[in-house]
């Protein structure tokens, strides 16, 4: 009896400790670790001040569309083909299309292919959070 209650108490204490630690950690610490390209993409998004116009992960402006799920939108437009979605996103980031009646113009920052690739990796990461 004593062993079973001691074991149950230990399991309960571990569960409570995990819950307490998890609730005190930043939300982003509870997700899968990021790789170098995702980190570089975040830095590139900061360099070009994307959140001045766009929201990413709940932070930023509202002038442009929310980019948190941008990767999913590109994949949906590519009928689920992630390679096509990535190519389309890279092309758009390097040479944004002209504004239309229902869409505002995004500035052409003249992103390098490396920068665009990193931003695409970052946006793919944000979409899977």
DSSP string, the chain: -HHHHHHHHHHHHHHHHHHHHHHHS-GGGGSPPP-HHHHHHHHHHHHTTGGGTSEETTEE-SSS---TTHHHHHHHHTTT-HHHHHHHHHHHHHSPPPPBTTBPPPP-----HHHHHHHHHHHHHHHT-
The pLDDT value given to residue 15? 43
Say what the pLDDT of residue 53 is: 94
pLDDT of residue 97: 79
pTM exceeds cut of 0.75 = no
Provide the pLDDT for residue 105. 83
Q: What is the pLDDT of residue 102?
A: 64
Across the 129 residues of the chain, what is the mean pLDDT of every consecutive 10-residue run?
48 44 47 80 96 95 93 96 96 81 80 97 93
């Amino acid at each position: 009896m004593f062993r079973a209650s001691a074991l149950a108490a230990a399991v309960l204490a571990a569960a409570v400790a995990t819950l307490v630690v998890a609730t005190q950690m930043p939300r982003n610490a509870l997700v899968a670790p990021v790789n170098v390209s995702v980190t570089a993409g975040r830095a590139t998004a900061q360099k070009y001040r994307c959140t001045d116009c766009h929201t990413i992960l709940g932070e930023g402006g509202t002038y442009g569309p929310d980019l948190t799920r941008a990767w999913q939108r590109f994949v949906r437009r590519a009928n689920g083909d992630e390679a096509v979605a990535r190519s389309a996103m890279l092309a758009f980031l390097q040479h944004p299309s002209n504004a239309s009646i229902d869409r505002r113009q995004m500035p052409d920052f003249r992103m390098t292919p490396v920068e665009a690739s990193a931003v695409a990796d970052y946006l793919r990461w944000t979409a899977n959070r």
